[in-house]
Amino acid sequence: MIETFSHSEVNFPWSESGVKTWTYAHINLHAPWFYVDYKIGLDEVSASAMYLLFDEKQISQLLAESDVEITNLYAVTPGLVNKTMQWKMDLLKSVSVGHKKVKGQNQKVVRLELDNETEYFYPELKMRSKFHKERDIYFSKKGLGKPVDENKL
């Protein structure tokens, strides 16, 4: 999640009603989030823009929009997820949701597969075999985002 501050708000006269703009925001969780490049308007007239998403469900919601095409999806991960001492932004090949067993209970796990075949799991898994995939959220072929038909899983 992001926090915004009233002193960083900027008012543009051309902004739509209800839209607010800030010069900066604060992220207080060391958790993965997503940077999405997308096109809106799939006919001759289209525009590109970016989203910052903090939940894989938001990716599904964006893919459900008929006039939106994800052109690139990136995972922005903290060092505790990517095993470095720094934040990294990597192009994603796929996003899946599953679970692992913790004391007999299912705990949600998100699997991020990077374009270079590296896998990240959040929360961390000690052994990949402990991940039980339930559904794919996103799958990319050469940077072109396609919704996953869950009926074929």
Q: What is the pLDDT averaged over residues 111-132?
A: 90
Q: If DSSP states are collapsed to H, E and C, what string results for 140-152? A: EECCEEEECCHHH
Percent of the chain with pLDDT over 70: 90
Residue 121 or 42, more confident: 121
Task: Give the lowest-confidence range in 31-35, 43-47, 88-92, 123-127.
Answer: 43-47
Q: Is 51 left (phi over 0), alpha (psi -120 to 50) or beta?
A: beta
pTM score of the predicted model? 0.82
Please state, in angstroms and rounded to a whole number, the distance separating the CA atoms of residues 142 and 93. Answer: 8
Domain boundaries, the chain: 23-152
Tens-digit pLDDT profile for residues 22-44: 888 888 888 999 999 988 876 67
